[in-house]
A and B are shown apart, each in its own frame.
Chain A
Amino acid sequence: MVSTESLNYSVENITKSFGGAKALSNVSMSVSSSEVHCLAGENGSGKSTLIKIMSGVHAPDSGLIRLDRKEFNQLSPRQAVQEGVQVIFQDFSLLPNLTAAENIALPTFIYENSKFISKRETKKIAQSALELIGVDIDFNLPVSDISIASKQLIAIARATNLGVKMLFMDEPTTALTRKEITRLFEVINQIKARGVATVFVSHKIDEIQEICNTITVLRNGEVVADGPMKDFGAREISQAMTGHDVLTTRIAPDLKISEQKVVEVSHLTAKPTFSDISFSVAPGEILGITGLLGSGRTELAEAIFGKYLVDSGEIAVNGVKLSINSAKAALDAGIGYVPPDRLTQGLFLEQSILRNLVAVGIDRYKSNWGSLPKKNLTAIGNKWVSDLKIKTKNPSNPVTSLSGGNQQRVVLAKWFAMNPHLMILNGPTVGVDVGSKREILEIIRDRAKNGMSFLVVSDDIPELIQICHRVLVIKNGKISKEFLESELDEASLYKELN
């Protein structure tokens, strides 16, 4: 089934509405063989709808789909696959309980309408598929034991094996480290050399510029800009995506110099993950912590919140030494923590926005009788919805109805309501688009101005430079360098990191 034939795929004047709301209007886009085409746009701009139409999941209301010389009014998912169109969704659609080899080979057996499957054949298919994209992964392992980066490569191998000519990748770099992204880009270049066209959906501008040669920007369901990548600078892209000029200058508030320390961490050690970590945070200070995936940065953040047990070391809050060995102890001491995976760890997704907002420290809202008066909860919830500009028609809707940036705001609001001394944010803008990112950073800035201290753990260097007063780089479980406000610049941070 493997082939290197080329495919020219274009859609013309595609329009699609869902229950009266227009998702796409008059969208045209064209991708040809060996092209890496960026599809950019904020959440809700229509990117996903367009991918779903181009891969046959949705039928457009009107418009034309053209694959080489064949014209369609709509595609079925099977037709799309037969024409060589494949989508790698954000969750990769891999089966964790099956081996990597089976995940790669199973669709091949299914499309050949086989009734039986042999282990040897399965391995042979997996081997050749992985060789084709130049990747070496132990395909006998179950997918549940494989890292996220390798899962993605397996998903690519599977698509390639089905004779892909046109590959859609939906935000493929969200969960990857810089090194893994580099490897992913090598693979993309490899399949590009074989004639495969790739549509790369992303809102990380530096990555778009690195890998793509053409770009289409969607906003509110319309194409607002398209053309060769070389005609676009970072600023033009973000301007097209947001519709207004987004600056990337520093927005950290001035820090009043004070000897007072909110939190002092000394000689914190949890072998082998990290050792001898000491630092302090002043009131209103935003301290950044960065490091590669696996450097211990997440574990360190969790340790300060009592979720990761340490061997030795001390944590003092406002000068009082504390033994923080549980999340409850951390909460009592006034330390809050927002995990990187906001969707699975930070929110009750099916519950209403209001209920999520009051979920942390719900004890504070109870009446003398121990009941939770609905009026109080609603009032407090509504206050946060307006304070943090959470965009929703009705705060009683479930959190799932919100866009990524707004979900992140709900998580933040939930914690701010506790009024913690130190707020630990781990990857606060992961999976958030440019406009929302800016607003989230502004929320952090405003809180810091009011005296709340922050620990921002992130591998997004530009973001750290924008918001932090100081940045610590963690390498192999130790602080390798401290960057003061005056020393913060992208090049030297990247250099220290890698």
Chain B
Amino acid sequence: MNFRKLLRRNETVLIFAIIVFSLVIGSKSPEFFTIANLFDILRSSFVQLIFALGVLIVIISGGIDVSFPIVGIFAGYTAVVIMRKFELNEESVLVPVALAILIGIILGGLNAIAIAGFEIPTLIATLGTAGIFRGFMLSFIGASFISDIPLGLDNFSTADLIKFESEAGTLVRLHVLVIPVALITLAVSLLLNRTIFGRSVYALGGGVESTRRLGISVKRTQAKIYMLVGGLSGLAGILYVSLQRKANPYDLAGSELDVIAAVVLGGASIMGGYGTVFGTVLGVLFINMIKNNLVLLGVSSSWQRAAVGVLLIIGITIQAIGENQKQKRQRSATSKEAE
């Protein structure tokens, strides 16, 4: 890969942006460049990254899922309710996590039926199911805040991998989740790049009819995608509940902006076909860096959402410009060969 190509990559632009913002924030407030702050950014990124990996897969396939925050909180909340109701092992972390993933896969399966079965456009389908899931949860599962979540989950929120007191006297903690989240990230990357399923996801984003002619089952691939995203969302939901140490059915709604913005900034094309796990990781880190540290720049926290909105628009604009250049390159490829 030559240097110019490297410059054109979204990841390069993003790394550059992260460095520039770090320098700006760091010059204003020295506490930015502390390990404590770095670990804080990581901690606030875990849940979002798992959501984002799911969204990345959907966006590469040329679809969009806006139901994932609801699926996440539905799965997390319901898992806690089930734990309470059936008085399952209070100490266990794996049981509620497995429950949430299972619930997520089932809800994702319902999305899959709407999208692959009834061929409803993905945005409309997931917008619809999001409403249905939310209504179902609030009416039949519960609408009240649960503050005493199972002990295992509660303890997990403070399970730190690294913990020490800094010279300034603040407590520096790196949560143990960094390991499983890193493994999941790696797994999704391998899935997308090294398996036929992963390449089928890219193929689908490149063109549905062409994918079908390759001999790939479009419906089966879509069904797998939405179930996988459901499972990832369920996992993210239960981790969110654990880290927050409470299960609030009204949480997470509205978080789709941050996640979709992170994925798009990471270079995934909203038209489908393009996107990388590395880019998404950078996108999530970037968004959280901005959100966590706007205050240090003297920007009121009420501007956070607006800032993320602006970033999303910038990300899409960069894509549109890149698309234009790509067409130019193609044109020059055609005329060059003609000579």
Question: Which residues in A have some Cβ–Cβ distance to B below 8 Å?
Answer: 78, 81, 89, 91, 93-98, 102, 106-107, 109-111, 114-118, 144-150, 177, 179-180, 292-295
Contact = CB atoms under 8 A, between A and B. Distances in A.
A114 B196 contact: yes
25 contacts: A93-B207, A94-B210, A97-B202, A97-B206, A98-B199, A98-B203, A98-B206, A107-B214, A107-B215, A110-B215, A114-B196, A116-B194, A117-B194, A117-B196, A117-B199, A118-B194, A146-B330, A147-B334, A147-B336, A147-B337, A149-B334, A150-B333, A177-B338, A180-B338, A293-B335
Nearest to A150: B337
B195 A115 contact: yes
Nearest to B195: A116
A93 B213 contact: yes
A106 B199 contact: yes
A109 B196 contact: yes
> For B202, B326, B329, B330, which residue has the most chain A Cβ atoms within 10 angstroms?
B330
Interface in B315-339: 326, 329-330, 333-339
Closest 9 A-B residue pairs measured CB to CB? Answer: A294-B335, A95-B206, A97-B273, A294-B338, A293-B338, A147-B334, A93-B210, A97-B206, A93-B213
A312 B205 CA distance: 43
B207 A145 contact: no
B108 to A, nearest CB: 21
B339 A294 contact: yes
Contacts of B337: 147, 149-150, 180, 294
A102 B207 contact: no
Interface in B277-334: 326, 329-330, 333-334
B258 to A, nearest CB: 26
A96 B329 CA distance: 13
Residue from B206, B216, B326 having most chain A Cβ neighbours under 10 A: B206
Given A95-B203, A102-B199, A109-B196, A179 B216 contact: no
A144 B332 CA distance: 12
Contacts of B165: none
Nearest to B335: A294
B61 to A, nearest CB: 11
Contact of A96 (B197, B206, B211, B338): B206
Interface string B191-231: 00011110100110111011101111000000000000000
A110 B274 contact: no
A81 B199 CA distance: 21
Contacts of B214: 93, 95, 106-107, 110
Contacts of A150: 333, 337
A98 B272 CA distance: 12
Q: From DSSP, what is the main secondary structure of chain A's interface residues?
A: loop
A11 to B, nearest CB: 21
A110 B195 CA distance: 11
Contacts of A97: 202, 205-206, 273-274
A381 to B, nearest CB: 32
B215 A78 contact: yes
A118 B195 CA distance: 8
B191 to A, nearest CB: 10
A412 B214 CA distance: 37
Contacts of A292: 338-339
Contacts of A98: 199, 202-203, 206
A102 B333 CA distance: 20
A98 B202 CA distance: 8
Contacts of B209: 93
B221 to A, nearest CB: 11
A282 B273 CA distance: 50
A93 B214 CA distance: 8
Given A95-B203, A97-B202, A97-B273, A116 B196 contact: yes
Contacts of A114: 196
Given A95-B214, A146-B330, 4 more contacts: A98-B202, A144-B330, A146-B333, A149-B334
A96 B195 contact: no
Interface in B146-163: none
Nearest to A87: B213
Nearest to B209: A93
A117 B195 contact: yes
Contacts of B199: 98, 102, 106, 117
Given A98-B199, A294-B335, A294-B336, A145 B215 contact: no
Nearest to B1: A140
Contacts of B333: 145-147, 150
B202 A95 contact: yes
Contacts of B326: 144-145
Nearest to B213: A93
Contacts of A81: 215
Nearest to A81: B215
B58 to A, nearest CB: 15
A145 B210 CA distance: 18
Contacts of B215: 78, 81, 107, 110-111
A295 to B, nearest CB: 8
A110 B216 contact: yes
B57 to A, nearest CB: 15
A262 B334 CA distance: 33
B140 to A, nearest CB: 39
Nearest to B323: A144
Given A95-B206, A98-B206, A110 B196 contact: yes
B3 to A, nearest CB: 17
A106 B211 CA distance: 10
Nearest to A295: B338
Nearest to B271: A97
Which of A89, A91, A96, A295 has most B Cβ within 10 Å? A96
A114 B214 CA distance: 14
B327 to A, nearest CB: 9
Nearest to A109: B196
A313 B209 CA distance: 46
A254 to B, nearest CB: 36
Contacts of B336: 147, 294
A106 B203 contact: yes
Contacts of B274: 97
A146 B335 CA distance: 11
Nearest to A57: B213
A177 B338 CA distance: 7
A337 B239 CA distance: 60
Given A179-B338, A294-B334, A115 B196 contact: yes
